[in-house]
Amino acid sequence: MPTISNEELRRLHFINALFSRITGRDLYLAQQIKEAIAFSLAELEQQTRAHPEFAAKYDAAFNAAAARLLAKFFEQEPRQGFFHWDASRTVTSATPLFARAELMTGLKLLTPFRESTLLVTNLRPALLPASRRATPRRQRDYQEALAYIRDLAAARTSRRAELHLLFL
């Protein structure tokens, strides 16, 4: 039986959780989705094997491809809302003022739906960049941003609505 690396196992569980409505928590189906995403990134995966320093770039590309696939799935679900916020879209996206404005736009789009999903990506790399030291202040800013997004989503979502908040 072939062994699976920690990174591959992490990606498999990530896909299983992200696409649970499709897979029904079946790891075999999650593995097929993971392999399809990895196939679309085959060239980058080969480069990563040759240059291990590209691992972070591959992870970011894998997450972005999974987010795009999830968005396509939700486009076909007319009764369920979906909004994807990428915190690293601009230099200022992860700052509290701009984060609030962008998230409020998304939450307003989700208002008509009784069930919706808010996907937040790249918050950690935006506030704790790999190229810089993870100082206590940066770690505190990251934790505060997580709490702020949770509180904002809870305050701006109807009590009758079900909002799934996903952080990648």
Structure tokens of 164? 């799934």
- Closest to 87 (Cα-Cα) out of 123, 57, 56: 123
Answer positive or negative: Cα dihedral of 154, 156, 162, 165. Answer: negative
Residue extents of the structural domains in the chain: 1-75, 77-168
DSSP 3-state helix, strand, coil percentages of the chain (rounded to 5)?
A: 60, 10, 25
Q: Is the pTM of this model over 0.85?
A: no
Q: What are the pLDDT tens digits along the chain (168 aa)?
A: 567 788 788 888 888 888 887 888 788 888 899 888 888 888 887 887 787 777 777 888 888 888 888 888 888 878 888 999 988 887 777 777 788 999 999 999 999 999 998 999 888 888 888 788 888 998 999 999 999 999 999 999 988 999 989 888
Question: Which two three-digit tokens encode residue 91?
Answer: 């230099």
Rounded CA-CA distance 48/45 in Å is 5
